[in-house]
Chain A
Amino acid sequence: MKSRLFSSESRLSDLITAHPSLLTLMSRLGISLGFGDRSIADVCEGSGVDTAFFLLICNVYTFNNYVPSTATILGTDMTGLVPYLEKSHRYYVDKRLPHIERHLDAIAQKLSGRIGQVFISFFKEYKREVEEHFAHEERDVFPHIGALMSGKKDTTYSIGEFVHTHSDIEGKLDDLLNIVFKYLPPQVDDDNVVDVVYDILRLSEDLKKHTFIEEKIMVPLVQHLENAILK
């Protein structure tokens, strides 16, 4: 993966024109829109975002088979990682999931009583699981990373535990997708169904990348920090 499509000299607008889905990453990475025709390096500098870190995340999102090497990870300023992951959590919980829920609510209205309730409670249960999953990371994992990064010998948590217990949170979303577009009765066939299928697909892809970043970037980084500081 040496030949990156985009370098720090590329225009940010070209990156986004080529990969529009990256648009949803900008605010999570601390970049506001309205960057005009400035280069990636220029925009990042102006926003106080590390350019190498910005490119790393964009590359992971864009190229499915790209796994950054440990050398790349350790050679990049990772102070932005935890804030990025936290902002992503908020984006999923405060924006994407409620948006999907509104569509599903409208669909549930069209299903006869009890089925509508079971349908919507399936989603609410999923949402609760996702929130719990994120809350655990924010409570136990992220503070541990923050402490290690500031050079503290933090032994309250070990990333080995995370590796052991980290579960995927996209699985049930795929179940929901199948239910919505294959098994809903024909009378609920409306715009909400098509819209929500797109929304679920997009969220599922986004969450897969999020999991990937945690497992392939965050974990090796923390393992290195733990080894360097605690041993």
Chain B
Amino acid sequence: MKKRLLIVEPAEVIVEGLRAVLDESRFKILDTESSADNLEERIAMSRPDILLINPTLLGNPRHMHVERPLAIVALVYQYVERDLLKQYDAVVDIRDSRAVIIDTLAQAAPGEEEVAKNNYELTKRETAVLVQLAQGKTNKEIADTLNVSVHTVISHRKNITHKTGIKSVAGLTVYAMLNNLIKG
């Protein structure tokens, strides 16, 4: 299945460069935008798998309200603060080779199992996050053990809540026990 890509980047040269580099058998470029105006609405309408965006236009991606799964990838060719980049699911530097850019994007996109609609089974990753939550770990601690960003942990948590209908950690702990995911 092709990954659906939404590119937000003001420089036309960069956009055209990306079009040339991205493998059409693996990616479908839905649209390119030159600004982040009405971005949440654009995402809701075109439902991309990946948002590739210049971080100077977006700032912190965690402040955006979008439905998951969506990978938000920073498109970098100038200096951007490290702390800000950490909030993104992945970073593409235009100085990377074609292969690295394609690989980074392919891996950032949510896996097929998570994309499947109406699949309310928790994925392996979500189960791993749930178990650690039930053990009382913070988002930061979970991110560190699973080697992902805090942003990704939060997106897993949103998916868990969406699937189970349970929001509180205490409630999720009961859920984890009833499903034998953790021992009492």
Contact = CB atoms under 8 A, between A and B. Distances in A.
A171 B175 contact: no
Interface in B22-72: none
B174 A118 contact: yes
A127 B91 CA distance: 45
Interface stretch (B13-21, B75-83, B104-112, B160-168): B160-168
Interface-centre pick from A125, A171, A182, A183 (highest chain B CB count, 10 A): A183
Contacts of A224: none
Contact of B178 (A125, A172, A179): A179
B179 A183 contact: yes
Interface string B173-184: 111011100001
A171 B170 CA distance: 12
Interface string A105-129: 0000000011101110010011000
B167 A171 contact: yes
Interface of A: 113-115, 117-119, 122, 125-126, 171-172, 174-179, 182-185
A211 B168 CA distance: 19
Q: Is the interface of B mostly helix, strand, loop or mixed?
A: helix
A174 B174 contact: no
Bin the interface of chain B by size.
10 to 19
Given A114-B184, A118-B174, A175 B179 contact: no
Nearest to B169: A175
Contacts of A177: 165
B34 to A, nearest CB: 39
Q: Is the interface of A mostly helix, strand, loop or mixed?
A: helix
Contacts of A174: 165, 167
A195 B170 CA distance: 23
Contact of B170 (A113, A117, A122, A184): A122
Interface of B: 164-168, 170-175, 177-179, 184
A178 B165 contact: yes
Contact of A115 (B166, B167, B184): B184
A117 B178 CA distance: 12
A184 B165 CA distance: 14
Contacts of A122: 170-171, 173-174
Contact of A172 (B170, B173, B175): B170
Contacts of B165: 174-175, 177-178, 182
A118 B166 CA distance: 16
B168 to A, nearest CB: 5
Contacts of B174: 118-119, 122, 179
A115 B178 contact: yes
